């Protein structure tokens, strides 16, 4: 039986990690243009100017002081400014994706490339860029899968509105979406609103100047309302649009069968299901309302907010899956790395060079958990293995470790479809071409089937070359997932 005949095999990228051209043709700054590089041990920093005019830097998760604005220091290297230059290489790259037989290609639109200050000033050159990209995809029969916003809010909205903490940003976002929906309604069918909405909690991602829980809760309400409005608007503009949500799904297992560990694990997973429950079921779950009550968090809910959320539920669930983790009540468990968060180490799992628990079965587990809870079509829009790839003397790159990771994860997906009956619509491995790491800003941490000559300091020819996994994945797609050897 295998995967559905129209299964959307492809690859995934994000504007701020891939495009470069950070000021090209009228693009405005996004918050991520002010984020330095880092490493597995050195955090990425935000460079900013205080309201007194002092130039400072702060770690990515820390709240910017009130009134501070993002600042680009001419003496600092920022990975997003060139990244791996999709802006000038899009024809070459899409041709390579077509060689692999991609049925789809996931990319994100840079809000500040299309609307430089994030409000209402549309940049025609920005719209043209994505017209050209979508035309190039469709030329090869590749379906664009568009993430409307992938971590990069326009810096102007962060600096002048405090980002999503400000209800006005709802209207700015709806305007941005109306602009791109109308412009690309005959080229793009699949959309998703916010990338990994459950990870959006800081200045870099949502433009807020506070770590306060009530500010984050209010910002998420605004984003839920915006997403719901956009889902309804999109269906009006083109009834064939499929508009999804996108979550970072890191399943945690109870470290022991101690009932307290099991209960705590279920309660911990509420932090992830909260975002899915609101966007898939159309209302705030009781466990969250009870939590807000306990914490004294009072949302400023306007009269139509909950009605919009109820009416604007999504068509499918997109999610990123890289790893799993464990949860326990006793806290002297070894900590290891993780996607945007540190996690507890599972003694039964190997970890990647960045400490991420490698768990192919966890992908089948997550598909069951999600599909059973919501019954909506599921789309794995990120999965992959960040590794240091070696270019041999003869130019070959033998990333057998990546092939091994994908082989096991695709088999797990297949079992979820064939044995468990999950309605899985597509699979877009993350970083199908080498791009900048979100967590560390590194190029060293490579995910691609295609190698790009670029290092962590911005040195390199940007030359593209095929890794061993390029032809392996081509074969997987050709066989619709049957041939994984």
User: What sign for the dihedral angle of Cα 15, 201, 73, 52?
Assistant: positive
For the CB of residue 122, give the shortest distance to ligand BGP in the complex, in Å.
26
With respect to ligand BGP, which residue has the nearer C-beta, 320 or 324? 320
Q: Is 14 in the site for ligand BGP (CB under 6 A)?
A: yes
Q: Residue with CB nearest ligand BGP?
A: 439
Distance CA 283, CA 248 (A): 20
Interface segment toward ligand BGP; rule CB under 6 A; list 178-186, 229-237, 305-313, 430-438: 430-438
CB 376 within 8 A of CB 315: yes
Which residues in the 367-406 window bind ligand BGP by CB under 6 A? 382, 386
CB nearer to ligand BGP: give 196 or 305. Answer: 196
User: Nearest distance from residue 314's CB to ligand BGP, in Å?
Assistant: 17
3-state SS class at 23:
coil
Q: With 0-12 CB in 10 A as exposed, 13-18 as middle and 19+ as buried, what is 485?
A: exposed
For residues 306 and 443, which CB has a smaller minimum distance to ligand BGP in the complex?
443
Where are the alpha helices (H) located in 4-81, listed in sequence order?
A: 15-18
Q: How many alpha carbons fall within 13 Å on the CB side of residue 38?
A: 19
- The nearest distance, CB 321 to ligand BGP, in angstroms, is 10
8 Å CB contact between 158 and 70: yes
CA distance 408 to 426: 16
Give the residue, chosen from 112, 193, 195, 428, that forms a contact with ligand BGP under the rule CB under 6 A.
195
Q: Which of 19, 136, 196, 308 is catalytic?
A: 196
Q: How far apart are CA 129 and CA 124, in angstroms?
A: 9
Q: Tell me which stretch binds ligand BGP (CB under 6 A): 179-187, 286-294, 398-406, 436-444.
A: 436-444
Does 357 bind ligand BGP (CB under 6 A)? Our answer is: no
The secondary structure element, H or E, covering residue 190 is: strand 190-194
Size of the residue set binding ligand BGP (CB under 6 A) = 16
Cβ distance to ligand BGP smaller for residue 38 or 481: 38
Q: CB pairs under 8 A, 24+ apart, for 125-132?
A: 125/25, 125/26, 126/25, 126/26, 126/27, 127/179, 127/180, 127/183, 129/25, 129/87, 130/180, 130/183, 130/184, 131/183, 131/184, 131/187, 132/90
What's the CA gap between 252 and 57, in Å, rounded? Answer: 34
Based on the shown chain and the rule CB under 6 A, indicate whether residue 248 belongs to the binding site for ligand BGP: yes
Which of these segments, 73-81, 417-425, 432-440, 462-470, binds ligand BGP (CB under 6 A)? 432-440
196 among known catalytic residues: yes
Residue 320 as a binder of ligand BGP (CB under 6 A): the answer is: yes
Catalytic residue flag (residue 442): no
- Please pick, from the candidates 113, 229, 445, 446, the single residue that binds ligand BGP as defined by CB under 6 A: 445
Determine the Cα–Cα distance for residues 483 and 473; give it in Å rounded to an integer: 10
Least distance between ligand BGP and beta carbon 220 (Å): 17
| Residues acting as catalytic residues | 196, 382
Contacts with ligand BGP, residue ranges (CB under 6 A): 14, 17, 195-196, 248, 320, 339-340, 382, 386, 430, 437-440, 445
């Amino acid at each position: 039986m295998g995967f559905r005949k129209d299964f959307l095999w492809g690859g995934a990228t994000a504007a701020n990690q891939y495009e470069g051209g950070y000021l090209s043709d009228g693009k405005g700054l996004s918050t991520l243009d002010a984020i330095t590089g880092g490493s597995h041990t050195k955090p990425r920093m935000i460079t900013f100017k205080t309201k007194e005019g002092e130039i400072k830097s702060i770690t990515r998760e820390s709240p910017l002081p009130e009134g501070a604005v993002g600042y680009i220091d001419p003496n600092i290297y920022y990975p997003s400014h060139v990244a791996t230059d999709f802006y000038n290489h899009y024809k070459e790259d899409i041709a390579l994706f077509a060689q692999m037989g991609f049925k789809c290609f996931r990319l994100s639109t840079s809000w500040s490339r299309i609307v430089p200050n994030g409000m209402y000033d549309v940049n025609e050159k920005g719209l043209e860029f994505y017209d050209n990209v979508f035309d190039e995809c469709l030329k090869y029969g590749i379906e664009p899968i568009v993430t409307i916003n992938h971590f990069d809010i326009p810096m102007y909205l962060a600096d002048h509105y405090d980002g999503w903490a400000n209800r006005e940003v709802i209207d700015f976002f709806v305007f941005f979406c109306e602009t791109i929906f109308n412009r690309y309604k005959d080229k793009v069918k699949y959309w998703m609103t916010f990338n990994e909405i459950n990870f959006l909690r800081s200045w870099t991602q949502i433009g807020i100047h506070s770590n306060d829980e009530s500010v984050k809760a209010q910002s998420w309400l605004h984003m839920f309302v915006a997403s719901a409005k956009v889902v309804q608007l999109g269906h009006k503009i083109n009834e064939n649009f499929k508009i999804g949500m996108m979550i970072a799904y890191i399943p945690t297992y109870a470290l022991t069968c101690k009932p307290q560990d099991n209960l705590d694990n279920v309660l911990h997973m509420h932090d992830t299901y909260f975002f899915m429950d609101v966007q898939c079921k159309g209302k705030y779950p009781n466990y969250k309302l009870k939590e807000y009550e306990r914490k004294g968090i009072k949302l400023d809910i306007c009269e139509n907010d909950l009605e919009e959320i109820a009416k604007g539920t999504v068509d499918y669930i997109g999610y990123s899956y890289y790893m799993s983790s464990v949860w326990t009540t006793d806290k002297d468990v070894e900590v290891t790395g993780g996607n945007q968060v540190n996690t507890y180490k599972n003694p039964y799992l190997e970890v990647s060079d960045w400490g991420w628990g490698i768990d192919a079965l966890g992908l089948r587990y997550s598909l069951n958990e999600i599909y059973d809870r919501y019954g909506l079509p599921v789309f794995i829009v990120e999965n992959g293995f960040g590794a240091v790839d070696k270019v041999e003397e003869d130019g070959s790159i033998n990333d057998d470790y990546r092939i091994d990771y994908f082989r096991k994860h695709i088999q797990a997906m297949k079992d979820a479809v064939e044995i468990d009956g999950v309605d899985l619509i597509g699979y877009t491995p993350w970083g199908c071409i080498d791009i900048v790491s979100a967590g560390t800003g590194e190029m060293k941490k490579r995910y691609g089937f295609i190698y790009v000559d670029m290092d962590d300091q911005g040195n390199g020819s940007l030359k593209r070359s095929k890794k061993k996994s390029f032809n392996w994945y081509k074969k997987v797609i050709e066989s619709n997932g049957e041939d994984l050897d």
